[in-house]
Amino acid sequence: MIDMGIPLLKNDTKMKNSALILGFATFVLFGCKSGEKHEMVFDGPIETVSPKADRANKKETLDWAGVYEATSPCADCDGIKTTVELKTDKTFNMSQTRIGKTGDDIRFKESGNFTWEDNGSDVVLEAGKYRIKFEVGQNDLTLLDMSGNVAKGELSNFYVLKKK
């Protein structure tokens, strides 16, 4: 006989206990009427955490200044390396390099100012006709659309720049 670690019922006491447990479980599952509403009452203080308040702290609590990088897929090159530098004076430098290509169009550079959104979590980089929004995270920047939504889909992880 192989011991599988499962205890077997050897006497009537264990059988009676099992029947008692099964009966209690049946009472709990079917004892309440399905149309009744139940409220949970808490006795004592309840601490709530607001996601918006948590986001607002990023501007003040995170070490957000620095250089962030990511490489995203490219249809006609080996990838696009994006580098963003956020400075404490609210200026930025951004560059994109098409890896594996040569010529004048392989590199894009832009500098300008950025502003913090009211939520204290998102920054908007502005330079000339360009406006790009990122959510600041712990050692990363996540590209957002201008409505503040994170990109979804199988390529979304390529839009997260990691801090160097």
User: Any idea what the CATH number is for the domain that residue 91 is in?
Assistant: 2.40.128.640
The verdict on residue 4 lying in a domain is: no
* Cα–Cα–Cα angle for 73, 68, 93, rounded to 5 degrees: 100
Number of domains in the chain: 1
Q: Is the dihedral of CA 88, 92, 97, 102 positive or negative?
A: negative
The verdict on residue 32 lying in a domain is: no
The verdict on residue 114 lying in a domain is: yes
The verdict on residue 34 lying in a domain is: no
The verdict on residue 55 lying in a domain is: no
The verdict on residue 42 lying in a domain is: no
Q: CA-CA distances (angstroms) from residue 119 to 9, 122, 135, 161?
A: 61, 7, 10, 20
Q: Taking the complete model, does pTM exceed 0.85, yes or no?
A: no
The verdict on residue 82 lying in a domain is: yes
pLDDT score, position 62: 93
pLDDT score, position 116: 95
Q: What is the pLDDT of residues 90-116, one digit of tens each?
A: 999 999 999 998 876 678 899 999 999
- The domain containing residue 117 runs over which residues? 65-163
Give the phi and the psi of residue 150 in degrees, each rounded to 5.
-80, 140
Tell me the C-alpha distance between 140 and 142, whole Å.
7
Q: CA-CA distances (angstroms) from residue 143 to 22, 54, 94, 147?
A: 53, 19, 13, 11
Q: What is the pLDDT of residues 10-65, one digit of tens each?
A: 444 444 444 434 444 333 333 444 444 333 343 444 443 334 444 556 888 899 99
The verdict on residue 109 lying in a domain is: yes
pLDDT score, position 130: 84
